[in-house]
Amino acid sequence: MASVIKTDHPGRTVIHTWDLTSADATGDAISVPGSSDRTVQFIIDTSGSAIAVLEGSLDGIAFFTLTDSQGNDISTKADTGEKVEENTLWIRPRLSTAGSGAKWSCLFFSRSAMR
Region 81-96 average pLDDT: 96
pLDDT at 63: 98
CA dist 19 and 1 (Å) reads 10
Q: Does any domain span residue 108? A: no
- For the cut 90, the answer to whether the pLDDT of residue 114 exceeds it is no
Region 77-97 average pLDDT: 95
Domain that holds residue 36: 4-101
- Indicate the number of domains in the chain: 1
CA dist 70 and 60 (Å) reads 25
pLDDT tens per residue, range 8-42:
999 999 999 999 999 999 999 999 888 889 999 99
Q: Provide the percentage of residues in the chain whose pLDDT is more than 70.
A: 98
Alpha-carbon distances, residue 87 vs 6, 51, 62, 91, 98 (angstroms): 19, 22, 15, 9, 26
What global pTM score does this model have?
Answer: 0.94
Q: Does any domain span residue 58? A: yes
Q: Does any domain span residue 115? A: no
Q: Does any domain span residue 109? A: no
Q: Does any domain span residue 112? A: no
- Residue 50's Cβ-count burial label (10 Å; 0-12, 13-18, 19+) is buried
Q: Does any domain span residue 111? A: no
pLDDT at 34: 83
pLDDT tens per residue, range 45-84:
999 999 999 999 999 999 999 999 999 999 999 999 999 9
Q: Please state, rounded to an integer, the average pLDDT across all residues of the chain.
A: 94
Give φ, ψ of 11 to 5 degrees: 75, 30
- For the cut 70, the answer to whether the pLDDT of residue 115 exceeds it is no
Q: Does any domain span residue 110? A: no
